[in-house]
């Protein structure tokens, strides 16, 4: 399938005002055989989380390329879990070698891979990821964010509980590539603008907001290809909707879509 | 911006913000309306509540995220304000006129009712996938609980609720309150004179700060010197 993508990661107003760098990091790499996208959101309270988020992006991408994608070995949920555990261990070593506390590098991690007719989406922590089913054009969540009871609590890949209970804190979902015609992954700074909750109906949790994603996909399919899409996308994430404009957190959003 | 295709894709009318996207910060005010509050204290309390609602509206996020409920206690326990979003325009005059005085001080029942409500509201949030911050209970009293009320039971419930992070609890004693008795229940702060307005502005600032906070963010408490009677100034 002919996949295209747009990506942007922008510094939020809050960090900008404090003179801090963007604590989100992302990595996207595509070729004929596979596509790889990684998003990491460094904790606002951690002093060097921008280093943490960059390092987990780099490590995860290199690990998956070396161990799976370039080695042409089939990917499985087990291999993905091993990647996350290796990332956790790497961050421990990284912190120790440099004399940093592991907490100061706290970051979440979300990975999406299109490879050998499958789509894998895995994560630890919060953030957003969703897929659109090709047969129904309906969106659904591709991850259940790890949140504490309260809105300002989450889990980080750097936490020991991830290694102690990987099945609780590393969530992996697998899809047949042909069943999906779009998917996205991003940091929690984009959550308010892109997910909805229906309080009229009981038991319904949050889901991707179609009125956010569908008009964008339509615009992408209607527009002639332009090299400037990522720049436009980052401007859009900054202030494209009322909610995006008001959100002062760092915002990262990567979207993949198939051209009709 | 006009050449940005994504801006063209979003029309605020056909694509309004997603419903209930904001996390909620619930605050339950648990207010003493016994007869001893008559005169200046109840008027100052009403002014304070007025200032609270107005101050909450100053911050765009806070006005969407803070939900305020008010339970009053005197000879009875009753609800003055269920928690609509502040954005839905609270009828402040209606709230103030509902703060009528009546009888004794069923403080313990009032606080237990606030705790029960918090659990009910959390269940509602969870049912609908709405994120929320740790709720606040604010107790204000100028007296002491009626005799026969389960002071020790309430003390245990507050201690457990706070240590299990079920809620944040603040108790503020106003002029004439029995510090010895209230100290058996919790660690009260003392309001200096009639500084209700200063207290409620402080509360609003605190809730605004919480409702703007991010995952794992540690918050420094706002200074309380504008309204709190410190031991030094008491001496």
Q: Judge contact between A213 and A184, C-beta under 8 A.
A: yes
Q: Which of A139, A141, A151 to mutate to test the interface with B (most CBs of B within 10 A)?
A: A151
Q: Of B114, B110, B93, whose CA–CA distance to B145 is shortest?
A: B110
At B200, list the tokens: 């409620």
What are the pLDDT digits (tens) for A154-165? Answer: 899 999 999 999
User: Looking at chain A, which residue has its C-alpha nearest residue B18?
Assistant: A196
| Nearest-angstrom CA–CA distance, A150 and A169 | 17
- Interface confidence (ipTM) of the complex: 0.76
Segment (H or E) for B119 = helix B107-127
Overall residue count recorded for chain B in this entry: 235
For the segment A82-109, the average pLDDT, to the nearest whole number, is 96
Smallest Cβ distance to B216: which of A106, A199, A242?
A106
Which positions in chain A touch B5 (Cβ < 8 Å)? 219-220, 223, 226, 229, 232
For the segment A138-148, the average pLDDT, to the nearest whole number, is 89
pLDDT of residue B61: 81
Contact state of B15 with A243 under an 8 Å Cβ cutoff: no
What are the pLDDT digits (tens) for A58-67? Answer: 999 999 999 9
pLDDT of residue B232: 54
Segment (H or E) for A130 = strand A128-133
Contact state of B18 with A149 under an 8 Å Cβ cutoff: no
Q: How many CA atoms lie within 13 A of A137 on its CB side?
A: 8
pLDDT above 70 for A225: no
Report which DSSP code applies to A204. Answer: -
pLDDT of residue B62: 85
Contact state of B7 with A149 under an 8 Å Cβ cutoff: no
Between helix A77-98 and helix A49-64 the angle, nearest 10°, is 140
- How many contacts (CB atoms, under 8 Å) link A and B? 130
Overall residue count recorded for chain A in this entry: 260
Contact state of A246 with B23 under an 8 Å Cβ cutoff: no
Contact state of A212 with B1 under an 8 Å Cβ cutoff: no
Which residue is associated with the tokens 């206690």? B73
Taking all residues of chain A, what is their mean pLDDT, rounded to a whole number? 91
| Nearest-angstrom CA–CA distance, B36 and B101 | 9
Contact state of A223 with B5 under an 8 Å Cβ cutoff: yes
User: Looking at chain B, which residue has its C-alpha nearest residue A200?
Assistant: B128
**How far is C-alpha B228 from the chain's CA centre?**
17
Higher pLDDT, A198 or A139: A139
Spell out the residues 6+ positions from residue B171 whose beta carbon is closer than 8 angstroms to its own.
B139, B140, B141, B182, B185, B186, B187, B188, B189
| Nearest-angstrom CA–CA distance, B160 and B153 | 11
At B36, list the tokens: 């001893």
Q: Judge contact between B101 and B133, C-beta under 8 A.
A: no
At B225, list the tokens: 């010197």
| Nearest-angstrom CA–CA distance, A142 and A172 | 9
User: Looking at chain A, which residue has its C-alpha nearest residue B62?
Assistant: A246
pLDDT above 50 for A30: yes
Q: Within 10 Å of residue B231's Cβ, how many Cβ atoms?
A: 7
Q: Identify any residues that bridge with A113 across adjacent strands, giving them in sequence order.
A: A36, A120
Phi, psi of B30 (to 5 degrees): -115, 100
pLDDT above 70 for A173: yes
What are the pLDDT digits (tens) for B167-198? Answer: 999 999 999 899 999 999 998 999 999 999 99
At A77, list the tokens: 């949920």
Which range, A18-32, A139-153, B83-97, is most confident? A18-32
Q: Within 10 Å of residue A78's Cβ, how many Cβ atoms?
A: 9
Phi, psi of B81 (to 5 degrees): -150, 115
Q: Which residues of chain B are under the pLDDT cut of 50?
A: 1, 86-87, 233-235
Which positions in chain A touch B87 (Cβ < 8 Å)? none
Contact state of A196 with B23 under an 8 Å Cβ cutoff: no
For the segment A169-183, the average pLDDT, to the nearest whole number, is 97
Helices (H) and strands (E) in chain B, counts: 9, 6
From the number of C-beta atoms within 10 Å of its C-beta (0-12, 13-18, 19+), residue B200 rates as buried
Smallest Cβ distance to B60: which of A188, A223, A246?
A246
Contact state of B6 with A216 under an 8 Å Cβ cutoff: yes
Contact state of A191 with B217 under an 8 Å Cβ cutoff: no
| Nearest-angstrom CA–CA distance, A135 and A118 | 16
Within B75-217, strands assigned E span 77-81, 136-141, 168-173, 189-190
Q: Is the CA virtual torsion A245, A190, B67, B203 positive or negative? A: negative
At A58, list the tokens: 């780099």
pLDDT of residue B64: 82
Q: Of A235, A189, A239, whose CA–CA distance to A6 is shortest?
A: A235
Which positions in chain B touch A13 (Cβ < 8 Å)? none
Contact state of A44 with B217 under an 8 Å Cβ cutoff: yes
Is the pTM for the entire model greater than 0.80?
no
Which residue is associated with the tokens 């499958």? A118
**How far is C-alpha A106 from the chain's CA centre?**
16
For the segment A158-178, the average pLDDT, to the nearest whole number, is 96
3-state helix, strand, coil in chain A (%, to 5): 40, 30, 35
Contact state of A211 with B14 under an 8 Å Cβ cutoff: yes
pLDDT of residue A204: 54
Q: How far is B78 from chain A (nearest CA, A)?
A: 26
Q: Which of A41, A46, A149, A188 to mutate to test the interface with B (most CBs of B within 10 A)?
A: A149
| Nearest-angstrom CA–CA distance, B147 and B89 | 39
| Nearest-angstrom CA–CA distance, B14 and A252 | 24
| Nearest-angstrom CA–CA distance, A40 and A44 | 12
User: Looking at chain B, which residue has its C-alpha nearest residue A127?
Assistant: B215
pLDDT of residue B131: 82
| Nearest-angstrom CA–CA distance, B132 and B153 | 27
Segment (H or E) for B233 = helix B231-234
């Amino acid at each position: 399938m002919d996949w295209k993508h747009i990506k942007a990661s922008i510094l939020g107003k809050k960090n900008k005002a404090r003179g801090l760098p963007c604590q989100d990091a992302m990595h996207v790499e595509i070729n004929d055989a596979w596509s790889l996208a990684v998003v990491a959101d460094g904790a606002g309270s951690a002093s060097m989380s921008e280093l943490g988020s960059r390092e987990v992006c780099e490590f995860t991408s290199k690990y998956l390329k070396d161990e799976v994608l370039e080695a042409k070995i089939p990917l499985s949920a087990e291999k993905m879990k091993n990647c996350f555990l290796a990332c956790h261990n790497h961050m421990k070593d990284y912190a120790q070698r440099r004399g940093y506390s592991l907490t100061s590098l706290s970051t979440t991690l979300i990975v999406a891979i299109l490879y050998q007719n499958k789509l894998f989406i895995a994560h630890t922590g919060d953030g957003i990821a969703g897929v659109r089913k090709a047969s129904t054009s309906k969106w659904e969540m591709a991850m259940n964010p790890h949140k504490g009871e309260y809105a300002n609590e989450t889990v980080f890949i750097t936490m020991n509980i991830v290694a102690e209970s990987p099945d609780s804190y590393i969530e992996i979902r697998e899809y047949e590539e042909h069943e999906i015609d779009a998917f996205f992954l991003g940091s929690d700074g984009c959550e308010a603008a892109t997910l909805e909750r229906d309080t009229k109906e009981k038991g319904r949790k949050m889901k991707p907001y179609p009125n956010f994603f569908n008009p964008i996909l339509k615009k992408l399919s209607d527009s002639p290809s332009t090299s400037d899409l990522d720049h436009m996308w980052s401007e859009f994430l900054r202030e494209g909707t009322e909610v995006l404009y008001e959100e002062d957190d760092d915002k990262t959003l990567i979207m993949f879509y198939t051209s009709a | 911006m006009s050449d940005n295709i994504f801006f063209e894709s979003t029309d605020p009318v056909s694509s309004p913000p997603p419903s209930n996207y904001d996390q909620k910060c619930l605050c339950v005010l648990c207010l003493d309306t016994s007869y001893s509050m008559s005169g200046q204290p109840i008027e100052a309390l009403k002014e304070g509540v007025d200032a609270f609602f107005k101050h909450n509206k100053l911050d765009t996020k806070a006005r969407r995220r803070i939900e305020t409920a008010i339970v009053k206690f005197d000879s009875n326990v009753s609800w003055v304000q269920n928690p609509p979003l502040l954005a839905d325009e609270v009828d402040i005059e209606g709230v103030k006129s509902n703060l009528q005085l009546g009888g004794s001080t069923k403080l313990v029942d009032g606080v237990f009712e606030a705790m029960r409500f918090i659990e009910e509201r959390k269940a509602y949030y969870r049912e609908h996938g709405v994120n929320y911050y740790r709720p606040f209970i604010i107790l204000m009293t100028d007296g002491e609980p009626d005799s026969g009320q389960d002071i020790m039971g309430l003390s245990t419930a507050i201690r457990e609720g706070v240590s299990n992070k079920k809620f944040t609890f603040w108790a503020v004693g106003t002029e004439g309150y029995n510090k010895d008795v209230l100290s058996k229940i919790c660690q009260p702060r003392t309001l200096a004179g009639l500084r209700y307005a200063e207290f409620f502005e402080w509360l609003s600032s605190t809730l605004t700060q919480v409702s703007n906070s991010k995952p794992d963010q540690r918050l420094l408490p706002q200074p309380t010197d504008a309204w709190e009677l410190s031991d030094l100034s008491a001496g």
